[in-house]
Amino acid sequence: MKNLQPSDPSSIGGYPLLSRLGAGGMGQVFLSRTPSGRLLALKTIREDLSSDPGFEERFAREIRNSDRVRSPWTVTVVDYSPPGQRPQWLATEYVPAPSLDEWVSRHGPLPEAAVLSLAAELCGALQSVHQADLTHRDVKPGNVLLARDRPRLIDFGIARAADDPRHTQVGGVLGSPGFLAPDQAVGGVPAEPADVFSLAAVLVYAATGHGPFTRPQENNVAMAALVYRAVHEAPDLQGVPPTLVPVLASCLAKAPADRPTAAELGKRLEEIGARTGNWPDVRPPALATELTAHEQPTHTLVDPRPDLPPDLQTGLQPDLQPDLRPGSQPHPQQHHHPQYNQHHQQTQPLTAPGHGPGPGHPAAGQTQDSTLLAVPGTPERRRRPRWLIVAVTAAAAVAVAAVSVAAYAGMRGSGSGSSDDSSDASKTRPSASAEATKPTTPATPVRRILQAVYDLGVGESVRTAKTKLIMQRDGNLVITDKQDRPLWAAMTSGTGNTARFQDDGNLVVHNSAGRPVWASQTFGHPGAVLVLQADGNVVIKAGDAVLWAAKTVH
């Protein structure tokens, strides 16, 4: 990650540029963010190539193909330039992780368990690419990111659709020598078997520190030599885990017809114990430290508390504003681009919080300062939760007691027609102290401190005298004032979205599949609390440090 240069634009496509992430043969990649603070990798074609029709067409193809593959093993497209716009750009989710090439170059080969897991995960990635009727054509260590949850396959710059007529043309060589298949090397048809060959070559590199057609400690091999070896020589599999050798040998067959398909490869990997889903358990221990190092710069570069313009404060169109009023029916939102879809492994869900007083209740007894604690729900069914409201001060406790007495007394003296004749004077007439403090409605705290893990289900909310945090039925997490006017929104949508304040300090909105679509980017802070402050602001704090703020003081 490098600082922006004076010649760099301040924004592209309305997305602010924060830093440079790197540059490729045809484009520059920047770190950016959405208005809600979601981090993006924004790729744009280099200025000196923007007038080249060949590069422009290739970049347009990358946009189409990247958006075509939806998979936990690929980065999700968030937005892209409209047709005909220059410069062209593509915004995808940002994955702060080293590539396999970077990791092996610095630390050497992966442990056997990690190689087996990597094999299963990348095979899953390749299957998703082929199921989208694409071939990647450039599977190599530099295009594999070693993320926390699972590896990612990136860069569809030279991918081709199966229905693209140029898919069957011969004569051009695209790919990375040392990892491209013999059929690619001689300018043949780069079909799915070539991707399988390249995947096997990547796994040899992960297991040994060098490709199947390079020697240990051999550097700067001429491209022509690598192409010749791929076409004419047997692969070097020395150092590959014995269980993987026959599998990879079949994938590295010279004839495309002799290689397994990605689906067949997945079955063979299962037979030798390679499976998806266990990458966090078997990845190299030192990788966690390096991932933190990749993530840390974003904490100083990215202010996750952007000031949203008025028309973006809710993420809703003006005619959808009535949805913010409790009791109204939500309308579906229209989105032009896919939502953030990073794979997320759900933890065991806890019960969701109950509702605070409804919007019709005026703020009475507003001297409370309360902490809401999560109570685990019954495992056999998800039920309406019960939450403990713990008063922080003795005065608050007294106020709650007074409210309860007053409310009870008011109910008994309301002329409801009760036939209970066992009441006495002490039940029908409250004490003088209760009479003096009797509010007309239940007390609403002026501040609330939410401790993790805290869930907001569909339509559920938590409120103070000035502010309400609500997970709307349209999927948007919104902060409103006491008149239910929107002050801030995560700008998310989707049926079944829920919000969770996690025990790592991160506030996350998940879609119905359990995958995050928005986050406060405050992970790594166990013990942090989510506070609805007396001034109307909503913040996440670790001790006295403010990690995130919605800037909703009112």
Is pLDDT larger for residue 294 or for residue 98? Answer: 98
pLDDT at 190: 57
Among 191-200, 203-212, 267-276, 375-384, the least confident range: 375-384
Most trustworthy range by pLDDT among 357-361, 440-444, 460-464, 481-485: 460-464
- pLDDT, residue 544, reads 86
Would you report the helix, strand and coil content of the chain in percent, each value rounded to 5?
Answer: 30, 20, 50
State the residue for tokens 């209970």. 420
Amino acid 50: pLDDT: 67
Sorting pLDDT into bands at 50, 70 and 90, what band is 189? low
Confidence grade of residue 300 (pLDDT, cut at 50, 70, 90)? low
Per CATH, the number for 97-302 is: 1.10.510.10
Helices assigned H by DSSP within 413-528 = 425-428, 432-437
Mean pLDDT (whole number) for 38-61: 77
Residue 306 has pLDDT above 50, yes or no: no
Under CATH, domain 1-94 is a member of which superfamily?
Answer: Phosphorylase Kinase; domain 1 (3.30.200.20)
Name every residue whose Cβ is closer than 8 Å to that of residue 526 and which is 6 or more positions away in sequence: 503, 504, 505
Quick one: three-class SS letters along 5-36?
CCCCCCEECCEEEEEEEEECCCEEEEEEECCC
- Grade residue 26 by pLDDT with cuts at 50, 70 and 90: low
452 Cβ partners below 8 Å, 6+ apart?
374, 501, 502, 503, 504, 505, 528, 529, 530
Which pLDDT value is given to residue 532? 95
pLDDT at 442: 56
Contact, 313 vs 478, CB < 8 A? Answer: no
Mean pLDDT: which of 86-100, 156-170, 530-544 is highest? 530-544
Most confident by average pLDDT, 227-236, 289-298, 345-354: 227-236
Q: What is the mean pLDDT of residues 230-255?
A: 96
Say which amino acid occupies 333.
Answer: Q
Higher pLDDT, 174 or 420: 174
Q: How does strand 447-451 pair with strand 369-373? A: parallel
Task: Return the CATH fold of 309-391+444-549.
Answer: Agglutinin, subunit A (2.90.10)
For the cut 80, the answer to whether the pLDDT of residue 495 exceeds it is yes
Q: Per-residue b/e over 110-142, b at no fewer than 16 CB within 10 Å?
A: beebbbbbbbbbbbbbbbbbbebebbbbbbbbb
Give the count of beta carbons closer than 10 Å to the beta carbon of residue 366: 17
**Token couple for 340:** 């953030």
**Secondary element (H or E) of residue 144:** strand 144-146
> What is the widest separation between alpha-carbon atoms in the chain?
103
40-49, 129-138, 215-224, 364-373: which is most confident: 129-138
91-108 average pLDDT score: 93
SS3 392: coil
- Beta pairing class for 529-532 and 538-542: antiparallel
How many other C-beta atoms are found inside a 10 Å radius of the C-beta of residue 270?
A: 13
Catalytic residues: 138
The stretches of 261-327 forming alpha helices (DSSP H) are 262-271, 279-282, 285-301
Task: Report the predicted TM-score, pTM, of the whole model to 2 decimal places.
Answer: 0.54
Report whether pLDDT(403) > 60: no
- How deeply is 542 buried, as exposed, middle or buried, from its count of CB atoms within 10 A (0-12, 13-18, 19+)? middle
Residue 362 has pLDDT above 80, yes or no: no
The residue-averaged pLDDT of 317-335 equals: 29
- Closest by Cα among 128, 214, 545, 518 to 340: 518
Whether residue 208 has pLDDT greater than 80 = yes
C-alpha distances in Å from residue 60, one per residue of 80, 175, 328: 10, 18, 42
Of 218 and 249, which is predicted with more confidence?
Answer: 249
Share of the chain above pLDDT 70, in %: 68
pLDDT at 531 over 60: yes
Instruction: Give the integer Cα–Cα distance in Å for 339 and 335.
Output: 8
Cα 282 to the chain's mean position, in Å?
22
pLDDT score of 466: 92
- What is the model's pLDDT at position 372? 52
The structural domains of the chain, with segments of one domain joined by +, span 1-94, 97-302, 309-391+444-549
Q: What is the 3-state secondary structure (H, E, C) of 466-478?
A: CEEEEECCCCCEE
Confidence category of residue 184, pLDDT binned at 50, 70, 90: confident
What's the mean pLDDT when you consider all of the chain? 73
DSSP strand E in 5-127: where?
Answer: 11-12, 15-23, 27-33, 39-45, 77-80, 89-93
* Lowest-pLDDT choice from 132-141, 297-306, 431-440, 458-467: 431-440
Tell how strand 467-471 and strand 477-481 pair up: antiparallel
Between residues 417 and 468, the one the model is more confident about: 468
43 labelled as ligand-binding? yes
